[in-house]
Structure 1
Amino acid sequence: QAVLQGHKVQYLETDDFFSRYALSPTAQREARLRAILESDLLVLDDLFLSRTIPDAAGALLQTLIHQRYKLHRSVVVTSNRVVQDWGAYLGDNTMSTTILGRLMHHCHLLEFDGRSYRLKEAAETLARKSKNS
């Protein structure tokens, strides 16, 4: 948990978080969930990076989004996956609709299309190396 200008921020790399959360003792999971729900901003980074998540992680995601929605707490989600495919990644279209409905009710959707900056930088580095060789 970080504090940004007096606001509590939870940043989660989602694949790593879901794996660690599932393996944590119950008391630790409850404390972690409480901290996530109480934070002013939750950042879920790289959601569906590995395309699918376990059923328990899907249920946890739905709980997080639902509870934060009820509490009027902000959520930022980053993903390279289009929202139309979230049902397939969750393995449950109804759950996907529930999550997206709450996320998008008061959202600002930003879509970026173009080349990856990482790939662009790597290509530039390779071009410089081959030019200097």
Structure 2
Amino acid sequence: MNETPQLLLSHHLKALKLPTFLREYDKLARQCAAEGDDHTRYLLRLAELELIDRERRMVERRIKAARFPTVKSIDSFDFNAIASLNKMLVMELARCDYVNRNENVIAVGNSGTGKTHVALALGLAACQKGVPVGFITASALVHELLEARDDKRLLRLQKQLARVRLLIIDELGYVPLSPTGAELLFEVFSQRYERGSTIVTSNLPFDEWTSVFGSERLTGALLDRLTHHVHILEMNGDSYRLAQSRKAAKPLRDPETD
């Protein structure tokens, strides 16, 4: 028995990897017929649906590949809670032009002021703009580098990190690094210099980074590369996390007791 046109069409659309075409073509055909759209407009609308859905799936894949611990957006950040933060600069960075120029971003401030939230939000914005992103804490990255060195796959890992267009390194300064770990992390920054963009969050001002890297020479060389093309986000103030927790826990007023 010959296959029906519907079965053949389904087979061809699957082979062409057009899942939205397959899912929507029949429903949209009836809708276009009811609205009097010709075949060209029908195909245009169908193609637009496919492109929109394809872009959505690509963004989802980039978000998954970035390994974000959680997804945060700029819209969900309360800029009023951190008066020192330049909102206009953050909104400009969300356009991702700095990535095209291989520039860096450093968010510096005391603990709990939302540095990770902003870094994650900029990472999400980059994923939505088509930029491959990677997220990792400084301590986890050093651990991976040390393991890769011991397993004789350090060069492969370094190449993988260098290929990421936007690398987010969170919580630099929370844990002092061993001399070997500091040198390996320095190599990551050095290999990305003017070849890719890096976002760093740190609870330490620059003049205290020596306490993390253990060497003034290494720290100076690192800051020289990292701050050559950089946007600095000052994020000092009261704890953003504590303020958000208090806001979430605030009981609703009982109108009868007002």
Name the TM-score, length of structure 1 as normaliser.
Answer: 0.82
Q: 2:166 aligns with which of 41, 48, 53?
A: 41
Matched, 1:30 2:30: no
Matched, 1:59 2:187: no
Q: 1:101 aligns with which of 214, 221, 224?
A: 224
The offset of 1:37, in angstroms, is: 0.5
Counterpart residue identity of residue 16, structure 1: A
Counterpart residue identity of residue 152, structure 2: T
The offset of 1:101, in angstroms, is: 0.8
The offset of 1:125, in angstroms, is: 5.8
Matched, 1:83 2:209: no
The offset of 1:123, in angstroms, is: 4.2
**Equivalent-residue separation in structure 2 for 1:36 and 1:10 (angstroms):** 8
**Equivalent-residue separation in structure 1 for 2:133 and 2:250 (angstroms):** 39
**Equivalent-residue separation in structure 2 for 1:107 and 1:31 (angstroms):** 27
- Residue deviations 1:112-131, cap 9 Å, x none? 11112222234456665xxx
- Residue deviations 1:96-118, cap 9 Å, x none? 11100111111111111111222
Counterpart residue identity of residue 26, structure 1: K
Structure with the larger RCO, 1 or 2 (CA within 8 Å, 6+ apart): 2
Q: Secondary structure at the match of 1:7?
A: coil
1:12, 1:43 within 8 Å by CA — same for their partners in 2? yes
- What 5-or-longer segments of structure 1 have no aligned partner? 129-133
**Equivalent-residue separation in structure 1 for 2:205 and 2:177 (angstroms):** 15
1:15, 1:48 within 8 Å by CA — same for their partners in 2? no
2:138, 2:172 within 8 Å by CA — same for their partners in 1? yes
RMSD across aligned C-alpha pairs, in angstroms? Answer: 2.3
Counterpart residue identity of residue 97, structure 1: G
Identical columns (%):
26
| Count of residue pairs brought into register by the alignment | 128
**Equivalent-residue separation in structure 1 for 2:163 and 2:140 (angstroms):** 21
**Equivalent-residue separation in structure 2 for 1:20 and 1:40 (angstroms):** 19
Matched, 1:68 2:202: no
Counterpart residue identity of residue 14, structure 1: A
The offset of 1:30, in angstroms, is: 2.5
- Residue deviations 1:62-108, cap 9 Å, x none? 11111111x43111110111111011221101111110011111111
- What 5-or-longer segments of structure 2 have no aligned partner? 1-64, 67-125, 252-258
Counterpart residue identity of residue 159, structure 2: R
**Equivalent-residue separation in structure 2 for 1:40 and 1:20 (angstroms):** 19
1:9, 1:39 within 8 Å by CA — same for their partners in 2? yes
Equivalent residue number for residue 145 of structure 2: 21
